[in-house]
Structure 1
Amino acid sequence: MDDLQKNVSPVGFWVVAPSRRDRLGIIDATGESLTFGEMYDRINQVSHLFRRKGMKVGDTIAVIARNRVDTIVVHLAAMQSGLYYTPINYHSVVPEIEYIFKDSETSLVICDQDFAAVVRQASDAVNIPADRRIVLGVADGFESLREAIAGEPTSLPTDRIGGQILQYTSGTTGRPKGVRRKITNVDADTAAASLRWVLEMYGIDPSKPGTMLTTTPIYHTAGLNLTTLAIHFGVSIVMMDRWTPELMLELIEQYKINMTVVVPTQFVRLLKLEQEARNSRDISSLEWVVHGAAPCSPEIKRQMIEWWGPIIFEYYGSTEVGGTFVTSADWLSHPGTVGKPGPVTKLRVLNELDAEVPTGTVGRIFMRQGDDQIEYLHDPEKTLKSRVRDMMTVGDIGWVDDDGFLYLAGRTSEVIIVGGVNIYPAEVENVILGHGSVADVCVVGVPNEEYGEEVFAAIVLRGSDQGASETVKGKLREEIENLCFDQLAKFKCPRRIEFRSDLPRDPNGKLYRKKVRDPFWESAQRSI
């Protein structure tokens, strides 16, 4: 081993935890906390439970839970058991959960007691056995996690294989698609250490662990990944559940938070605080504030840098591919950029002929993270269409400047991003078309100062309903809204509905979605 290797600080929860047994490992909004030693023991107990339940390498567990201590415990147990971990948005309704259970071939489900009723219905629909339904808390028809692990050993299990996250993201059919990476025979410790570059590119030193504030739901890729990566660095975690700007500032002061991850919507709400509220808390401990998941207004970002200083880092990426990142200093000298590729990320901007475009020319953004190769589960056609050579695109377009910084120009994929959460129009349109009075519909994202975008639906009514009175149309609007609330998570439902006489389509019936969307963005100083 050379001197460089000797001086590299260890990374990986199971490597660092034994030397930090008495240090705070994690605390959630309920006040429950575990030291690193207690986390180590409980994670191992859950791993043994998975084996006792018959879970094999490559099997899938689905988790519908809030930001809780045991949610992270279950995740890390899956990551040393060779399992696919599928987080599901807890705002999802029964048909959405049922679809993911079935598509991911879920073998075991874990949920918060708050969501037991909907999870029970979805589990019944896909015949998940009763002994593979586990609850965080207590609920009829579920086995309590705490009771289930009571007799399990706290020792490391044998045959520790690194697991993977099977995240569901929007798909062209309107149904979410599972983004899957292969589970190999890499041991759990090596798998954890292999991602150390993600935090190190922000300058975070594993030899000097601090305390991170998790402000976003950990069913979202960014919140989950960066939280668990921090744990692998030996960082203590403070998890929020229901976020408010006032509480965030309070927790930063209370726990001397030195790193956190946010979405632009949170910046907007923080900036709405009165000056007195801003000044009431000591946030001088902050060293790294990472944001991403949605476009950020340049003016909003500039104001945050002025308030918090040059400690704000931005990342751009997706569940599918690697990404770029940018420091405050580089962003200020290149306003609007989303940065340069990470240490193991390859970036190319290609034209329609799959050739690389010149600097400053807009094209399709393709990336690859190291040797990473993903597939869309059960959709080889989408997987193939997303690839060019060894790279992949999620449909975004942009350009690179002379200094190698990437800028976004828009999205060809039509995905709507509301507060960092992806919504695919086709899924919403399919629900609206289920109403008997709807002849045609177009769903797009339109500007929203707080969330970045909001869902807008342009609807063409059938026959006689077109000339109906405003009273009748008001009733129809209410019926359509209720239909959406019944079949979609609340954040996917249109916040605005407009009835129109027709929608722009070509002779072949192709919808000109851009013609519906663009008028809303003409006065905005951004295109996404």
Structure 2
Amino acid sequence: MHPYLHAEQSPEKPAIIMAATGAVQTFAQLNDASNQMAHLFRQEGLNIGRTVAVLLDNHPNFFDFAWGAQRSGLYYVAIPSRLTAEEVSYILSDSGASLLVSSSTKQNVLDAVRDSNPEVKQFIYGGDDDRAIEPVLAAMPETPIDDERHGTDMLYSSGTTGRPKGVRIPFPENEDIAQPNPLVMMAQGAFGFSPGCTYLSPAPLYHAAPLRWCMTIHKMGGTVIIMEKFDPENALALIEKYKVDVSQWVPTHFSRMLKLPEATRLKYDVSSLKCAVHAAAPCPVPVKEKMIAWWGPIIREYYAGSEGNGFTFINSEDWLEHKGSVGKALLGIVHICDENDDEVATGVEGQIYFEGGAPVKYHNDPEKTKAAHNKHGWTSLGDVGKVDEDGFLYLTDRKSFMIISGGVNIYPQEIENLLITHPKITDAAVIGAPDEDMGEKVVAVVQPSNMNNATAEFAQELEAFLRQSLSGVKVPRQIDFRETLPREATGKLYKRLLRDEYWGKTGSRIV
């Protein structure tokens, strides 16, 4: 279905509730606002196939833009809200966006972008100049445009290893804006979402998963509770307050909720939850074990990318039998290949490829597109893993993060997953740093729960802790402490920034 159909059937049902303020936008209001946005796009000459962009935090009007673009046959680019003006300018230029919607909280960035990208028309919520969007929208009709056509998102990689690359998926052949959505069918089938459900979204809306899952909930006639910023205790309070039955998380969210005092965690009633979805990064086994023990066998995990070339799924019951797995493929066929693109034996690590999913094509980057394919035509997101004898996939790490020390391949994820289980650790990153003897050495960069613990004695304690579970070659030869790590609000760790720092590279930036 589509929000406009729910606006006809249940106009007063909340489509969006903002967590901090409790502000409600009904399906009728969302439909009217998205129609006005669609008329604005057409007034600006943006016809079917053009590109628009949004630069917003978790803002009450984010989905006015998204649904307005979806029903206008446009590509809509969600730009991470913390990027610099130069980074925003790059995405605008690369995507070919003609219009940018943002808010006055980004005024300094927007002013600089207007100078560097004068061809991109800007509209600003809360603006105090000719870019103010409210009076323009108020003058637009609340009825549909005459030439509605299904548009789609154009999302950019998170840029952990370089400039982000856009994924521009062709429009569906069916122009109907209310056509069946594969993600809706997957949400109802594999994940057990019910029509009209209440969904908690704790992550930034510009990220692929929150954006797509929230729009899927709207198609199902459900209510989305949007957290402006994740806070572990507040998330639990919201579940209790709104009787949330479905939600979507990343492992960092789980870890931070688990590190709340037990009395704090247990005072909130989370029994309304029927499904908690997680993805984005491998979840440390002890963390997921504790979450299942706390919330019950409602946790369901998937592995996929914006590229849409494959999708794996695992429920709690199967995970408990195959701990650490991200499941079996629901879309595409999984292959594990060596450096020669040949398949390896069961249980052997290699690069993960999918056969039969959507083709992978990166906008304006034929080299990266070519690198994502192997000689069989299968496609990869660049991750490394293995498949067990029952066909369950396990992620090891990103190929680009692999450390080669003395000729031995070491994947940081295993070490990070263990570090984060230490009760005195809030966050951790493991990288390879230069070493004259070994080529690279393993370095752990750790965020203690209390910086008073950032001592040589605590580093020794951590080393002893790791040696209980890891072979000597994997134990970090150096442990450094930081107050914070460069982690995106989505949970994505910008490991490249740390690695560049240790390798003495300058000018490294988050893009």
How big is the shift at 1:253?
0.9
1:135 aligned residue: 124
- The one of 11, 14, 24 aligned to 1:24: 14
2:243 maps to 1:253: no
Shifted more, 90-99 versus 162-171: the winner is: 162-171
2:152 aligned residue: 164
1:465 aligned residue: none
2:366 maps to 1:380: yes
- The one of 203, 206, 219 aligned to 1:216: 203
Structure 1 counterpart of 2:235, which letter? M
**Superposition map of 1:346-425 within 5 A:** 346-367=333-354, 370=357, 372-388=358-374, 389-414=376-401
Deviation by residue 1:445-499 (Cα, 9 ceiling, x = unmatched) = 9836277654869589xxxxxxxxxxxxxxxxxxxx9xx99xxxx9748569976
1:328 aligned residue: 316
Q: Percent identity?
A: 35
**Superposition map of 1:111-510 within 5 A:** 111-129=102-120, 132-144=121-133, 146-169=134-157, 174-191=162-179, 193-206=181-194, 208-320=195-307, 321-342=309-330, 344-367=331-354, 370=357, 372-388=358-374, 389-414=376-401, 447=416, 449=420, 453-454=428-429, 458=433, 492=494, 494=497
Cα distance between partner residues in 2 of 1:364 and 1:52? 48
2:80 aligned residue: 89
- The one of 61, 67, 71 aligned to 2:62: 71
Name the SS of the counterpart of 2:77 in structure 1: strand
Cα distance between partner residues in 1 of 2:65 and 2:366? 30
How big is the shift at 1:15?
3.2
Contact 1:458/1:498 (8 A) holds in 2: no
Deviation by residue 1:151-210 (Cα, 9 ceiling, x = unmatched) = 22222223222222211115698211111112254224355534323312434344x421
Contact 2:191/2:300 (8 A) holds in 1: no
Name the SS of the counterpart of 2:397 in structure 1: strand
Contact 2:313/2:328 (8 A) holds in 1: yes
- The one of 37, 41, 45 aligned to 2:32: 41
Residues 1:245 and 1:345: Cα distance change in structure 2 (over 3 Å) = same
Name the SS of the counterpart of 1:218 in structure 2: coil
Contact 1:456/1:497 (8 A) holds in 2: no
Cα distance between partner residues in 2 of 1:394 and 1:495? 22
Contact 2:193/2:275 (8 A) holds in 1: no
Structure 2 counterpart of 1:322, which letter? G
Cα distance between partner residues in 2 of 1:367 and 1:97? 31
- Uncovered stretches (5+) of structure 2, i.e. residues with no partner: 404-411, 436-481, 487-491, 506-511
Cα distance between partner residues in 1 of 2:393 and 2:128? 49
Cα distance between partner residues in 1 of 2:502 and 2:372? 35
Residues 1:168 and 1:113: Cα distance change in structure 2 (over 3 Å) = same
Contact 2:168/2:363 (8 A) holds in 1: yes
Structure 2 counterpart of 1:378, which letter? N
Shifted more, 235-244 versus 444-453: the winner is: 444-453
Deviation by residue 1:242-287 (Cα, 9 ceiling, x = unmatched) = 2111111111111110011111111111111112111221111101
Shifted more, 445-454 versus 99-108: the winner is: 445-454
Contact 1:313/1:327 (8 A) holds in 2: yes
Name the SS of the counterpart of 2:210 in structure 1: helix
Residues 1:126 and 1:243: Cα distance change in structure 2 (over 3 Å) = same
Residues 1:266 and 1:173: Cα distance change in structure 2 (over 3 Å) = closer
Name the SS of the counterpart of 1:348 in structure 2: strand
Residues 1:314 and 1:13: Cα distance change in structure 2 (over 3 Å) = same
How big is the shift at 1:123?
2.7
Structure 1 counterpart of 2:263, which letter? E
Residues 1:368 and 1:35: Cα distance change in structure 2 (over 3 Å) = farther
Contact 1:455/1:495 (8 A) holds in 2: no
Superposition TM-score, scaled by structure 1 size: 0.75
- Uncovered stretches (5+) of structure 1, i.e. residues with no partner: 1-10, 417-443, 461-480, 504-528
Structure 2 counterpart of 1:383, which letter? T
Deviation by residue 1:298-321 (Cα, 9 ceiling, x = unmatched) = 000000100111011111111123
Cα distance between partner residues in 2 of 1:154 and 1:107? 23
How many residue pairs match? The answer is 434
Name the SS of the counterpart of 1:338 in structure 2: strand
Contact 2:193/2:246 (8 A) holds in 1: no
How big is the shift at 1:133?
0.8
Residues 1:369 and 1:281: Cα distance change in structure 2 (over 3 Å) = farther
Residues 1:141 and 1:170: Cα distance change in structure 2 (over 3 Å) = same
Contact 1:41/1:155 (8 A) holds in 2: yes
Cα distance between partner residues in 2 of 1:338 and 1:185? 31
Name the SS of the counterpart of 1:413 in structure 2: helix
Cα distance between partner residues in 1 of 2:228 and 2:274? 22
Contact 2:386/2:394 (8 A) holds in 1: yes
- The one of 85, 90, 103 aligned to 2:94: 103
Contact 2:126/2:132 (8 A) holds in 1: no
Superposition TM-score, scaled by structure 2 size: 0.78
Cα distance between partner residues in 1 of 2:125 and 2:402? 33
Residues 1:334 and 1:171: Cα distance change in structure 2 (over 3 Å) = same
Name the SS of the counterpart of 2:177 in structure 1: helix
Deviation by residue 1:387-424 (Cα, 9 ceiling, x = unmatched) = 234531011121212221101122213399xxxxxxxx
Residues 1:360 and 1:79: Cα distance change in structure 2 (over 3 Å) = same
Residues 1:172 and 1:252: Cα distance change in structure 2 (over 3 Å) = closer
Structure 2 counterpart of 1:182, which letter? P
Residues 1:301 and 1:365: Cα distance change in structure 2 (over 3 Å) = same
RMSD value over aligned CA atoms? 3.1
Structure 2 counterpart of 1:250, which letter? A
Cα distance between partner residues in 1 of 2:180 and 2:226? 21
Cα distance between partner residues in 2 of 1:454 and 1:213? 28
Residues 1:174 and 1:268: Cα distance change in structure 2 (over 3 Å) = same
Structure 1 counterpart of 2:351, which letter? R
